[in-house]
Amino acid sequence: MNSNYNYAFLDEGSKREIRRSILKAVAIPGYQVPFGSRELPIGRGWGTGGIQLTLSLIGPSDTLKVIDQGSDESVNAVNIKKFVCLCTDVKTTIDTRDATLIQTRHRIPEIPLDNGQILVFQVPIPEPLRIVEAREEATKKMHAEKDYAPMWLQLYESLVKYKKVTIPSEYPCMVEGRYVMNPSPIPKFDNPKLHKAECLYLFGAGREKKIYAIPPHTEVLPLAFDDVPFERESFLGKKCRQCGSENTYLDEIFDAQTGEKFYQCSDTSYCLEARSHVSK
Amino acid sequence: MYLNEAPELSVNNLVVRYGDGCSDCQESLEKNRCKVCGTVWAVNGISFDVYPGEVLGIVGESGSGKTTLMRSLYFDFIPTSGNAALRGYKGGQANIWEASAAEQRMIKNVIMGMVYQNPVLGLRMDYSAASNIAEKIIAAGSRDAGQMTGRAKELLEAVEIPTSRMVEPPKNFSGGMQQRVQISKALANNPALLLLDEVTTGLDLSVQAKVLDLIRKIKARYGISILLVSHDLAVIRMLADRTIVMLDGKIVESGLTDQILEDPQHAFTQQLVHSLI
């Protein structure tokens, strides 16, 4: 551990302020709590919201896992892990079940999390209404008055134009029938994992200076018309080329030389584990 | 109209003022502007009723406060003072300008329909015509996409826009078509009161005739109360049962349309009627 810095890099006052914002966010599920986003040795927009949540929550007894689009080994995930270890000395893991604190970018692990675990999301744009209203002043009012008609209109317009809802990721959800929330850019495949979950989900947007949360057992439903049900990505007839899983979110990989398309699990630690079971 | 009938809309002593006003305002007005403090009294103490199924015409020259009056009723801005009651909102017992934001949205989307002179104000030009109508239905609380599409088809047919064009945005349409989309949008939730602000101004004569004909049909078919603002006396003569004449933010004359046009009493109305080509 580098002793030139305070434990977990941020000073104790900052960590306390962030934890206070987290408590407020947990108390009002889906509501975006403003917070004083701190400077970090990483540019804003590179996961600083998630990192600040992780740093202010982490303690010596924690085990950390960091994933980027499901992968434990991507540059972003590895460097965030290194940074946190540099100033905390916590244990790290790639096993989803062993981790007490998981920081993620754009995926929720395939293995369901339990109530001792916290999943921290890195959020680029926390405001779900931004696509229909550019002004923060107006979106705040819309949330306050629960005026989500423009959002529904956006969905209807895409039904009229393309006969289906065309939002690929960041699919807006209604939290406990009150706040419309942006689940960060997770695929629609992961949306159902937010609903009535066992674990605590925390969302941090460093550049936009917002924190929000989904506490365990919260109702989180994707916006959908009564007669047009919400649909996830379908991988029907496809399976992971490495572990053979058919029920996971698959990445499509294209081999430019042979022109072949492969599919493999985006959650790399799940894939590793599934393979070790197969080989036994 | 019976004497004991409750009005659909009742406006009482409406004032819309731009500026702080002063103690000399009411004595030193030059048209509608105070010479002392420069305050403009756009609407200056107006009261009227609209009864169920009635078309009330409002005429007056530019700057007489007609549009300000309409926009206040549609919550585009909140007036300085005065109150208005709608039969469909708390039984006509409450002032609509004191309603909460959510209630005001309900009033706008369910009880009232508005057609602006400029379609840009009333339509989302980049969204399809169908979505423009659905917007109202969504705001009224429906989450059934099939029902929205059905209603949009029905309304667009009623205003003679081919349903094959319902997926197109109104920015692709001609001025007359845009105005007809606006009318169908205003009718989406079967409102009790329709506000029409200079709907035919700026359209050529044959299109004007079509839009006027449509409004007549709507009146006959749905029995909606209509508040119709126009500076065009021909439009007023054709559609309005009763008429109010406005000048400098005040009502100078009111009565049956025929009466006002045949036997105008106020000097301004006389001038207005005689200047009719």
Q: Is residue A32 part of a domain?
A: yes
Residues A98 and A61 in one domain: yes
Q: Is residue A98 part of a domain?
A: yes
Residues A71 and A165 in one domain: yes
Distance from CA of B144 to the nearest CA of A (A): 5
Measured over all CA atoms, what is the biggest interatomic distance in chain B, rounded to whole angstroms? 60
pLDDT number for residue B1:
53
**A243 catalytic per annotation:** yes
Q: Among residues A49, A116, A240, A259, which one is catalytic?
A: A240
Residues A38 and A116 in one domain: yes
Crossing angle for the helix pair B145-158 and A149-162, to the nearest 10 degrees? 80
Q: Which of A85, A74, A133, A137 is nearest to A107 (CA)?
A: A74
Q: How many CA atoms lie within 13 A of B33 on its CB side?
A: 3
Residues A30 and A161 in one domain: yes
| CATH number of the domain enclosing A63 | 3.40.50.11310
Residues A240 and A210 in one domain: no
pLDDT tens for A192-223 read 999 999 999 999 999 999 999 999 999 999 99
pLDDT number for residue B205:
86
Residue B5 is classified by DSSP as: P
Interface test with B, best of A143, A147, A148, A156 (most B CBs within 10 A): A156
**A271 catalytic per annotation:** yes
Distance from CA of B220 to the nearest CA of A (A): 31
Which stretches within chain A are classed as H helix? 12-27, 48-57, 75-86, 136-144, 149-162, 268-279
Residues A66 and A114 in one domain: yes
Q: Is residue A124 part of a domain?
A: yes
Residues A68 and A202 in one domain: yes
Q: Is residue A148 part of a domain?
A: no
- Using a CB–CB cutoff of 8 Å, tell me whether B18 touches chain A: no
pLDDT tens for B119-144 read 999 999 999 999 999 999 999 999 99
Q: Is residue A279 part of a domain?
A: yes
- How many CB atoms neighbour CB A29 within 10 A? 19
Yes or no, beta carbons of A156 and B105 under 8 Å apart:
no
**Total structural domains within chain A:** 2
- Which residues, 6+ apart, have CB-to-CB distance to A229 below 8 Å? none
What is the value of ipTM here, to two decimals? 0.86
Residues A80 and A117 in one domain: yes
Cα end-to-end distance, chain A, whole Å? 38
Residue where a domain terminates, one of A218, A245, A270: A218
Residues A170 and A102 in one domain: yes
Residue where a domain terminates, one of A191, A218, A245: A218
**Alpha carbon of B12 to those of B15, B46, B177: distances in Å?**
9, 6, 35
- Token pair in block for residue B109: 């989307």
Yes or no, beta carbons of B148 and A156 under 8 Å apart:
yes
pTM assigned to the model: 0.89
CB A244 within 8 A of CB A69: no
**Alpha carbon of B273 to those of B128, B205, B266, B277: distances in Å?**
41, 20, 11, 9
pLDDT averaged per 10 residues, chain B (length 277): 80 93 84 89 94 93 90 92 94 94 93 93 95 95 95 92 94 92 93 92 83 87 91 90 94 94 92 79
Q: Is A194 exposed, middle or buried (0-12, 13-18, 19+ CB in 10 A)?
A: buried
- Using a CB–CB cutoff of 8 Å, tell me whether B189 touches chain A: no
Q: For chain A, which residues score pLDDT lower than 70?
A: 280
Domain that holds residue A70: 12-131+157-218
CA A129/CA A142 separation, integer angstroms: 9
What Rg, from alpha-carbon coordinates, does chain B have?
19
Residues of A in contact with B149 (CB under 8 A): 160
User: How many A-B residue pairs are in contact by the CB < 8 A criterion?
Assistant: 49
pLDDT number for residue B136:
96
pLDDT number for residue B277:
56
Residues A265 and A180 in one domain: no
**A30 catalytic per annotation:** yes
Residues A97 and A203 in one domain: yes
Q: Is residue A1 part of a domain?
A: no
Residue where a domain terminates, one of A168, A185, A218: A218
Distance from CA of A262 to the nearest CA of B (A): 37
Distance from CA of A152 to the nearest CA of B (A): 7
Yes or no, beta carbons of B144 and A227 under 8 Å apart:
yes
Q: Is residue A70 part of a domain?
A: yes
Q: Is A266 exposed, middle or buried (0-12, 13-18, 19+ CB in 10 A)?
A: buried
Q: Is residue A112 part of a domain?
A: yes
H-helix or E-strand containing B60?
Answer: strand B55-60
CA A39/CA A36 separation, integer angstroms: 10
CB A132 within 8 A of CB A138: no
Residues A41 and A102 in one domain: yes
Q: Among residues A13, A30, A199, A259, which one is catalytic?
A: A30
